[in-house]
Amino acid sequence: MSASKALLILCDGLGDRPLDALGGRTPLKAAYKPNLDRLARRGISGIMDPIAPGIRPGSGPAHLAIFGYDPFRYYTGRGIFEALGVGMEIQKGDIVFRFNFATLDKERRVIDRRAGRIREGTRELVKALGNIRIPGVELLFKEGIEHRGILALRGSRLGWKVSDTDPQKEGLKVLPCRSLDDTEESRRTADIINKIMEQAFEILENHPINEARKAKGKPPANAILIRGSSHYEEVPGLKERFGLEGACVAGGTLYKGVAKFVGMEVLEVKGATGTYGTDFRGKFEAAIKGLEDHNFVFLHFKAPDLAGEDGDSLRKIEVIERIDKAISGIEELRDTLIIITADHSTPCALRTHSGDPVPIVISGPGVRVDGNEGFDEFSASKGGLGRIRGLDLMPILADLLNLASKFGA
Ligand SMILES: [Zn+2]
């Protein structure tokens, strides 16, 4: 018997390094996770370098690679994924940036890079930004979570290799946007960005929402800081490349955006927040439901990465245990390959991503069970899958699902 569908459960930042506080174990090794261990006993394990050995992947390029898209070819920046993730209609050739609402003084010095993490009123502020006019180019603004937003430039003769205006530090002046490749197109884009920055300041400085914020002693969101230039090109989707009709269950906009980029349908789940407080079980149930009319579902859990970045190994153990509990009953899935892995390691001792490979297990019909006892970084390295790269995963799945075609005659 062989499987006809696949469920990829990606635990962000799951991999870790041995910790003295855990007796030389990793949080995954230390966690009580009967469901994950059972999948390993019934499956084939290995370790995976999301991009390449020793490369510390950002989440965007790592997800691209795992979905079978070479990040060196397809990754231009995070902006487009964030834009797709918040539901913007992005077109081929658009230049897309992320921006922050920020607080500047009259000399354009940054007082607060996040405008006091403004939560309310950003939709109205974004609407006001819609009054900015630059001849010959269409501007699209969209609010994101808290102080974040997206800006897209649409038009001809635009380049995307331009620098950020965010100085990344309070007390410094806003940086002028510059061309990074000295082409006429990028110089034009840089010039447009500088004009947008100036007009945004004029529009936002005296906006009623900011007047009200000042009256309450809150920092006004009187400027935008622009970063992460990227450009959009359409790519052949998972269906075309691997025969996979994909769906995505995730909280964070980045993950939804990468999923959309490769042609998946994003299933919106109430309570999927991309935080510690997310509805783990609700997401799992939505993923199971998604398998009814898709042959590939990608389920993303962000919490292990957050715990790693907080340097909190006990919390990381706790969220791994919550994920394990949330997927209870998973073995009842028939005719489905189950893949558990991560997009990178986020060791608690580092509080950031590392280049350590991540554990991976594939369980389900047709899989050569390798006799591994549990799911963790140590056992996985002895598994039958050996050491693969992120780009290898989709071809392996397409093969196990008998969707692959023969190479040569
Ligand atoms: Zn990640």
Q: What is the CATH number of the domain that holds 289?
A: 3.40.720.10
Longest distance between any two alpha carbons in the chain, whole Å: 75
Examine the domain organization and report whether 22 and 125 are in the same domain. Answer: no
Which of 231, 252, 285 is at the close of a domain? 231
Which of 211, 231, 251 is at the close of a domain? 231
In the structure, what pLDDT confidence band is assigned to residue 134 with cuts at 50, 70 and 90? very high
User: pLDDT averaged over the chain?
Assistant: 96
State how far the Cα of 210 lies from the Cα of 81, in Å rounded to an integer.
29
State how far the Cα of 297 lies from the Cα of 316, in Å rounded to an integer.
24
Residue 307 Cα to ligand 1 midpoint, Å, equals: 12
Residue 10 pairs in a beta bridge with 300, 341
Residue 277 Cα to ligand 1 midpoint, Å, equals: 17
405: in domain: no
| Domains contained in the chain, number | 2
Residue 184 Cα to ligand 1 midpoint, Å, equals: 35
Examine the domain organization and report whether 222 and 298 are in the same domain. Answer: no
Give the residue numbers spanning the domain of 388. Answer: 5-74+235-400
Examine the domain organization and report whether 214 and 239 are in the same domain. Answer: no
Tell me the pLDDT tens digit for each residue of 285-305: 999 999 999 999 999 999 999
Examine the domain organization and report whether 216 and 267 are in the same domain. Answer: no
- pTM of the shown model: 0.91
Residue 343 Cα to ligand 1 midpoint, Å, equals: 5
Whose CA is closest to 65, among 252, 342, 403?
Answer: 342
182: in domain: yes
Whether 39 contacts 375, CB under 8 Å = yes
Examine the domain organization and report whether 65 and 120 are in the same domain. Answer: no
Residue 254 Cα to ligand 1 midpoint, Å, equals: 10
In the structure, what pLDDT confidence band is assigned to residue 88 with cuts at 50, 70 and 90? very high
85: in domain: no
Examine the domain organization and report whether 347 and 201 are in the same domain. Answer: no
311: in domain: yes
Environment class of 368 (CB within 10 Å of its CB; exposed 0-12, middle 13-18, buried 19+): exposed
Environment class of 35 (CB within 10 Å of its CB; exposed 0-12, middle 13-18, buried 19+): middle
Examine the domain organization and report whether 99 and 196 are in the same domain. Answer: yes
Residue 134 Cα to ligand 1 midpoint, Å, equals: 36
Examine the domain organization and report whether 355 and 242 are in the same domain. Answer: yes
Residue 305 Cα to ligand 1 midpoint, Å, equals: 6
384: in domain: yes
Examine the domain organization and report whether 122 and 51 are in the same domain. Answer: no
Residue 272 Cα to ligand 1 midpoint, Å, equals: 16
266: in domain: yes
Residue 61 Cα to ligand 1 midpoint, Å, equals: 9
25-32: average pLDDT: 98
Query: Looking at residue 177, what is its pLDDT?
Result: 97
Q: Give Cα 231 to chain centroid, integer Å.
A: 17
169-194: average pLDDT: 96
Which of 231, 260, 295 is at the close of a domain? 231
Residue 136 Cα to ligand 1 midpoint, Å, equals: 38
Q: Which two tokens stand for residue 242?
A: 């691997």
149: in domain: yes
86: in domain: no
Residue 273 Cα to ligand 1 midpoint, Å, equals: 15
Whose CA is closest to 249, among 273, 228, 229, 232?
Answer: 273
Residue 344 Cα to ligand 1 midpoint, Å, equals: 6
130 pLDDT higher than 90: yes
In the structure, what pLDDT confidence band is assigned to residue 277 with cuts at 50, 70 and 90? confident
Examine the domain organization and report whether 246 and 325 are in the same domain. Answer: yes
Examine the domain organization and report whether 319 and 360 are in the same domain. Answer: yes
Residues 6+ apart with CB under 8 A from 250: 256, 259, 266, 272, 274, 298, 299, 300, 302
1 pLDDT higher than 80: no
In the structure, what pLDDT confidence band is assigned to residue 131 with cuts at 50, 70 and 90? very high
Examine the domain organization and report whether 318 and 357 are in the same domain. Answer: yes
Query: Looking at residue 146, what is its pLDDT?
Result: 87
